[in-house]
Structure 1
Amino acid sequence: MHVKPLLAALALALPGAARADILTFAAASLGGPLDRVVAAWEAQGGEAVTVSYAGSSALARQIAAGAPAELFISANPDWMDAVAEEGLLVDESRRDLLGNTLVLIAADAQAAPVEIGPDLDLGAMLGSGRLAMALVDAVPAGQYGRAALRHLGLWDAVAPHVAQAENVRAALALVASGAAPLGIGYATDAAEEPRVGVIGTFPKNSHAPIRYPAALIDGASEGAVDFLDFLSGPEATAIFAEAGFEVSR
């Protein structure tokens, strides 16, 4: 398996660039579990896969601009819809793979839990610090987080204190490093980072369901078709479930 940052993947879009592996664009929050899925796929003889992780919005825009991805896994339906509107998806290949949970995380892995609701004084918890979130206008985790805070009536008080990061993993890193005392992200990301603790789970009704659709991009190879099927199969879903994802049946 090869994992490339977004800029490296974009270099593949230059005229004359060769494409050898199955290039997969995946939401940053899939990093770790998806790496393990790819390793399992390749161990059984599957074609090599290169995964480029970034915010779903950035990935969707790059696909629309011509980046040669064969498979796209978004952290919400809207950015998959944006690619579909460009006429770039393989008909009937789209499927919901996974679900996730939105959580409040703290830089102190032993911090006491709180109940997330309208009475939570998040501003007082922050003190002079910042609330780390992915980009609230573009990245799914940030969009879900802002929607949840608005639903609970907490957004206006904390909005001036939000530190926005380019993706959910970057927001998590701000908390893990101690640069921000609190952050909002996915439960699966927090589980991958021992330096943070989950102190609360946002009510399901405070935001839209968190879903990860996957689809083939027009021109995808037969290997990409098989890899997408593998992502929905029992071996991959077991890995995702162990990482804390909700697995679509």
Structure 2
Amino acid sequence: MLTMQGLKTNVRAVLTALIVAAAALATPAMAAEKVTVFAAASLKNALDAVNDAWQQQSGHAVTASYAASSALAKQIEAGAPADIFISADLAWMDYVAGKKLIREDSRSTLLGNRLVLVAPVSDAKPVEIGQGFDLKAQLAGGKLAMGAVDSVPAGKYGKAALEKLGVWSSVEKDVAGAENVRAALLLVSKGEAPLGIVYETDAAADPSVKIVGTFPESSHPPIVYPIAILSESTHPDAAAYLDFVRSPAAKPLFEAQGFTVLAK
């Protein structure tokens, strides 16, 4: 028959065993946590390749969430857990920076891109993009697919270009605004819109569309992708991942998708 002292000893032994078991279970879970990256939708193909390379080199995986930079910035503001943010424009990175949500010393401008006009490959005719070009006639009653012009960076760049070229007012009512640039690309790819304004890298990622014109770089603000570690990140691999994304090893993977890698 157990004495009171023996019972207490057994209880302590059981509790100790439970704590050890819980620690053993928790340790792999902690080790399995992945660096979480919030990235502009246009980065998907290139960043997937970079993330695969990072995993092969480091042995650690990455979770990437792709959406419009505007949507990601709002999610970050609302407290969504993430370690890295890559925006498709300066404005949304500035937005989260203004909320003290990034580590300023980790911020840099990573990539550049170009703005193009695309059409379904089955009906692709060259369009000479210039001052006052007749985009309305090119649409032939159809819709112009773009990212939402009040929030999505590709849409904002596109609207700026059309305004600079003097044709925005003629096509404004024909715009089919999409939640991100890849959604706009899909409208063209599926033949639901005869033309769309996307990044050159998006066009390269979809064989169902073809570039029919390239917007002059002088017609819109420079297309750049800033990157930074988020203030709330506590992941031990966040800085190493950021260094890898900016390293010579990642450069050809971005360039293979048509991005311009900018100096740090």
TM-score (norm 1): 0.91
**Match status 1:25 vs 2:21:** no
Q: Which residue of 1 aligns with 2:7?
A: none
Q: Which residue of 1 aligns with 2:257?
A: 243
- Greater per-residue helix proportion: 2
CA distance in structure 2 between the aligned counterparts of 1:62 and 1:85, rounded to whole angstroms: 15
Structure 1 residue 247 displacement after superposition: 0.6
CA contact (8 A) 1:99 1:210 kept: yes
Task: State the alpha-carbon separation in 1 of the partners of residues 251 and 124 from structure 2.
Answer: 31
Cα distance in 2 for residues equivalent to 1:47 and 1:217: 19
Whichever residue aligns with residue 234 of structure 1, its letter is: P
CA contact 2:145–2:184 (8 Å) conserved in 1: yes
Give the 3-state SS of the residue equivalent to 1:233 in structure 2: coil
State how far apart, in whole Å, the 1-side matches of 2:174 and 2:149 are. Answer: 13
Please name the residue that 1:76 is paired with.
89
- The question of whether the paired residues in 1 share the 8 Å contact of 2:110 and 2:226 is answered with yes
Matched, 1:95 2:104: no
**CA drift at 1:25:** 0.1
Per the alignment, residue 39 of structure 1 pairs with: 52
Per-residue deviation at 1:109? 5.0
CA offsets per residue over residues 99-156 of structure 1, 9 Å max, x none? 0000000113562322201232111110111000001000000000000000000000
Write the distance in 2 (CA, Å) between the matches of 1:128 and 1:87: 46
Return closer, same or farther for 1:61/1:104 CA change in 2, 3 Å cut-off.
same
What SS does the corresponding residue of 2:250 show, helix, strand or coil?
helix
1:227 aligns with 2:248: no
RMSD: 1.3
- Aligned equivalents of 2:59 and 2:188: distance in 1? 37
Q: Distance in 1 between matches of 2:100 and 2:59?
A: 28
- 1:203-237 Cα shifts (integer Å, max 9, x gaps): 00100000000000013222011001000001111
C-alpha distance in 2 between matches for 1:25 and 1:116 = 33
Deviations for 1:15-36, whole angstroms, at most 9, x for unmatched residues? xxx9921110000000111001
Q: How many angstroms apart in 2 are the aligned matches of 1:240 and 1:110?
A: 29
Number of residues of Structure 1 aligned to a counterpart in Structure 2: 232
Q: C-alpha distance in 2, partners of 1:224/1:66?
A: 18
Distance in 1 (alpha carbons) for counterparts of 2:237 and 2:260: 26
Which residue of 1 is the match for residue 3 of structure 2? Answer: none
Equivalent of 1:127 in 129, 136, 140: 140
User: Which residue does 1:200 correspond to in 2?
Assistant: 213
Distance 1:110 1:124, change over 3 A: closer
Distance 1:222 1:107 in 2: 45
Asked if 1:155 corresponds to 2:171, the answer is no
Q: Which amino acid in structure 1 is aligned with residue 243 of structure 2?
A: D
Percentage of matched positions with identical amino acids: 54
Q: Distance in 1 between matches of 2:122 and 2:48?
A: 25
Name the structure 1 match of 2:159.
Answer: 146
Residues 104-119 of structure 1 correspond to what in structure 2 (within 5 A)?
104-108=117-121, 111-119=124-132
Where do 5+ consecutive residues of structure 2 fail to align? 1-29
CA contact (8 A) 2:97 2:104 kept: no
Residue 235 of structure 1 aligns to a residue in which SS? Answer: coil
CA contact (8 A) 2:37 2:82 kept: yes
Q: Is the 8 A contact 1:109 1:198 kept in 2?
A: no
Q: Which ranges in structure 1 are unaligned for 5 or more consecutive residues?
A: 1-17
